[in-house]
């Protein structure tokens, strides 16, 4: 694996860890901020994860089809370009359900 891909994968795992820290604060915290700062933070993390996925070479993504690369990029595009319709419950679900799975997959790739 080339260094650029390795760096992007490390960053994805790091960002997923930040997401886990946000999730650990709880759903009430996520919903409770009147300015939706937790939701905006979660949205930003997902966008940054998608940006790192976009940096990966086709060789890496093609060899690891078990990771939903295109879904990650589509979620990034939706949040970045259609922000007026952001469903913050869907963002929360992504943080709770999808990021841990993505992190596990990517950590296994890093071990290669």
Helix or strand (DSSP H, E) at 5: helix 3-24
pLDDT of 62 higher than 80: yes
Answer for the pair 112, 60: CB distance below 8 angstroms, yes or no.
no
Quick one: CA torsion of 91, 92, 98, 102, rounded to 10 degrees? 80
Which pLDDT tens digit goes with each residue over 5-17? 999 999 999 999 9
Provide the pLDDT for residue 112.
Answer: 66
Question: Which is higher by pLDDT, 35 or 67?
Answer: 67
State the average pLDDT over residues 35-59.
93
The Cβ-side half-sphere exposure at 63, using a 13 Å CA radius, reads 11
Q: What is the pLDDT of residues 66-90, one digit of tens each?
A: 999 999 999 999 999 987 788 899 9
SS3 label, residue 27: helix
Rounded Cα gap, residues 69 and 58, in angstroms: 11
Q: What are phi and psi of 64, to 5 degrees?
A: -130, 65
pLDDT reading at 19 higher than 70: yes
Tell me what the pLDDT averaged over the chain comes to. 92
Distance from C-alpha of 112 to C-alpha of 96, rounded to nearest angstrom = 26
Active centre residues (catalytic): 76, 81
Has residue 51 got a pLDDT over 90? yes
- Tell which residue, 91, 47, 64, 44, has the closest CA to residue 1: 64
pLDDT at residue number 34: 80
């Amino acid at each position: 694996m080339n260094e650029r891909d390795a760096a992007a994968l490390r960053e994805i795992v790091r960002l997923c860890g930040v997401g886990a820290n946000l999730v650990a604060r709880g759903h009430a915290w996520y919903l409770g901020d009147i300015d939706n700062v937790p939701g905006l933070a979660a949205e930003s993390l997902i966008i940054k994860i998608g940006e790192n996925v976009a940096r990966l070479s086709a060789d890496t993504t093609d060899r690891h089809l078990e990771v939903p690369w295109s879904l990650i990029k589509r979620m990034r595009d939706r949040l970045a370009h259609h922000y007026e319709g952001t469903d913050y419950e869907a963002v929360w679900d992504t943080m709770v359900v999808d990021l841990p799975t993505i992190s596990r997959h990517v950590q296994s790739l890093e071990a290669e």
